[in-house]
A and B are shown apart, each in its own frame.
Chain A
Amino acid sequence: MKLHELTIQKAHELLKQKEISSQELTQAVLNRIEAVDAKVGAYISVAGEMAVDQSKLADKAISAGNISSLTGIPIAIKDVICTKGLRTTCASKMLENFIPPYDATVIKKLQKAGAVIIGKVNMDEFAMGSSTENSGFQLTHNPWDLDRIPGGSSGGSAAAVAADMCLGALGSDTGGSIRQPASHCGVVGLKPTYGRVSRFGLVAFASSLDQIGPLTKNVNDCALLMNTISGYDSKDSTSMPREVPDYTLSFKENLTGVTIGIPREFNTSKGFDPSVLSSVKNAVKVIESLGAKCIEISLPHTQYVVAVYYVIAPSEASSNLARYDGVRYGFRDKTKKSLIEMYRGTRSAGFGSEVQRRIILGTYALSAGYYDAYYKKASQVRTLIIEDFKKAFEKCDILLSPVAPTPAFKIGEMSEDPLTMYLSDIFTLSANLAGIPSLSVPCGFSAEGLPIGLQIMGNYFQEETILRTAYHYENATDFHKIKPTL
């Protein structure tokens, strides 16, 4: 097996037995990027030298007997997470030359574990989008079919994992931005419970919804990354002071006694690709055969999820993105003579059209006369969506659904119609609105050979139940073993 194709777990074993060095592994991944990223376009910045230096340090630590499950492992980081001294752009012209003076907490945790940061990967600008087409710099192509989108907004993270250009990656998920690209690229992606992972150093999009999480080649690797990045952080006042378990221990128990809920409303949604429905149905059968009990449940407010999200997320975004004014960091329009003209010139030239659309939508929803009708109304319906989940989790342990109604669409196919693109987020948005954890695991392929993901949602801080279900399902299937040819 080629080194870049290794899972985190396998690479760790080889590093530990000193059969390979981190420097060899890191160089293999850098060579892989050199060989295929011209076609895929996952990376905005490759941190070659920095990565090699980190790999040498990791090798020293390993020689001294200090090895954690991530020591010497090359990890890609979505370019929305601050890395000290390493350009962090949010795929926006606004931050094209921004070099953070500090590391995000998750980066500090990865470094402490000895991981190698291999580079920064592409995304929709400021994480707004479902296809990575909104990047201010470049398109990312789906490794399974280069004419198709990788999903978004963590499209670079998912494509880099699927194309073996890293061993694992971090993404961020505000409305499905980890799970949907994971589904479209045939990898595992987890959005943790809100408050499980520190958001310090994550450039804010919608602060009540954003959460950092892993994208990996299998479920075990996902658990390993979660072990490292989770936990309370005094620098994030919304992180929860709660102990972090060893997530891999959850695999020991089988699925006997687990009750799965199938939301009735998700079966009646329009616009489904038949291969998505059949793959998810088959997955449910497999999980039942592993000992889980299956019941139908109801999430009555599902039909309002998209409307609620596209009021709340743009409202929070319009406030968060007010900071980009050309004064303290980022792009400035230097042609303007007055302060107000400079603000306006900077923001109009620095933000792409989807970001401007959401700022305007959010500003409108929060503006005098419309606040009650839009923002407050959406926040009330959010309460009802949360109550639906609370009732559902009285009857079951996890919920199963599709991640996206269709496999990856063609580049350019949807970009003229924002509402159609928004509607494709129907299955993923509710986990962010409720704050619950949710994972995508490969569960099949479409007729064209495109990957399909199964969504597994759990109750607050029940990542262990989700990972345990995904792990046993993965073991019973072969979808994760099939790789794209590049």
Chain B
Amino acid sequence: MKITKEEVMHVANLAHLDMDESSIDTFTFQLGKILEYVDTLNRVDTEGVLPTYHAIALTNAFREDIQKDHFDKEQVLGNAPEKEDGSFIVPKVIQ
């Protein structure tokens, strides 16, 4: 197979995803098939070809460094799953 169970678990870990045993097996099988297919790209000679990261030639879009309208604290916190005293609440980081 193109990708092992251990690699899928490693990548899931990097992406902060938990997986049970059966999902790991399914994903390993499906991703293996997809990656085998992607390997057809190795038939293409890309020596000296510049990669394209944007479809349209773009330069940096600059603007004047002036303050614009922005959300107030209530709006920013409006969708927070947990909040208190104008802050986002997260579980304890330091034990």
A407 within 8 A of B: no
Q: Which of A59-67, A370-378, A396-404, A450-458 contacts B (4 or more CB under 8 A)?
A: A370-378
Known: A330-B81, A334-B81. A357 touches B27 (CB 8 A): yes
Interface residue SS majority, chain A? helix
* In the complex, A227 has a CB within 8 A of chain B: no
Q: Report the Cα distance A195→B61, complex, angstroms.
A: 13
A86 interface residue (CB < 8 Å to B): no
Interface size of B by CB at 8 A reads 50
Pick the contact of A304 from B30, B44, B50, B56 — CB < 8 Å? B44
Query: 8 smallest A-B Cβ distances: which pairs?
Result: A435-B55, A379-B51, A329-B79, A332-B81, A237-B61, A380-B46, A101-B75, A348-B18
A interface size (C-beta, 8 A):
74
Question: Contacts A339-B92, A364-B31, A383-B49 given: A240-B17 contact, CB under 8 Å?
Answer: no
Determine, out of A12-20, A112-120, A129-137, A306-314, the stretch whose residues face the partner at the interface: A306-314
Q: A329 and B44 in contact (CB under 8 A), knowing A357-B31, A419-B34?
A: no
A99 to chain B: which residues have CB within 8 Å?
78-79
Contacts A306-B37, A357-B27 known; list 6 others, CB within 8 Å. Answer: A101-B76, A360-B8, A361-B31, A364-B11, A379-B53, A380-B51
The answer to whether the Cβ of A285 comes within 8 Å of any Cβ in the partner chain is no
A-B contact pairs, 30 of them (CB 8 A): A101-B76, A101-B79, A194-B55, A194-B56, A208-B55, A306-B37, A310-B34, A311-B38, A325-B16, A327-B80, A330-B81, A332-B82, A337-B92, A338-B93, A339-B92, A342-B91, A344-B16, A347-B15, A348-B19, A353-B23, A360-B8, A363-B11, A364-B3, A364-B11, A377-B41, A380-B50, A381-B44, A383-B51, A386-B55, A433-B55
> Given the complex of chains A and B, what is the CA–CA distance between A342 and B18 in angstroms?
11
Contact B40–A307 (Cβ < 8 Å): yes
The residue of chain B having its C-beta at the shortest distance from the C-beta of A374 within the complex is B38
Q: By the criterion CB–CB under 8 Å, are A383 and B3 in contact?
A: no
- Most A C-beta atoms less than 10 A away, residue of B40, B44, B92: B44
B residues 1-47 near A (Cβ < 8 Å) are 3, 7-8, 11-12, 14-19, 23, 27, 30-31, 33-35, 37-38, 40-42, 44, 46
- In the complex, whether A445 has a CB less than 8 A from a CB of chain B is no
Q: Identify which of B18, B27, B82 gathers the most chain A CB atoms within 10 Å of its CB.
A: B18
Flag if A308 contacts B41 (CB, 8 Å).
yes
Q: How far is it, in angstroms, between the C-alpha of A120 and the C-alpha of B78 when the chains are bound?
A: 20
Given A344-B18, A348-B17, A303–B40 Cβ distance below 8 Å? yes
In the complex, how many angstroms separate the beta carbon of A236 from the nearest chain B beta carbon?
A: 9
Q: Is the CB of B17 within 8 A of A238?
A: no
B14/A363 in contact, CB under 8 A:
yes
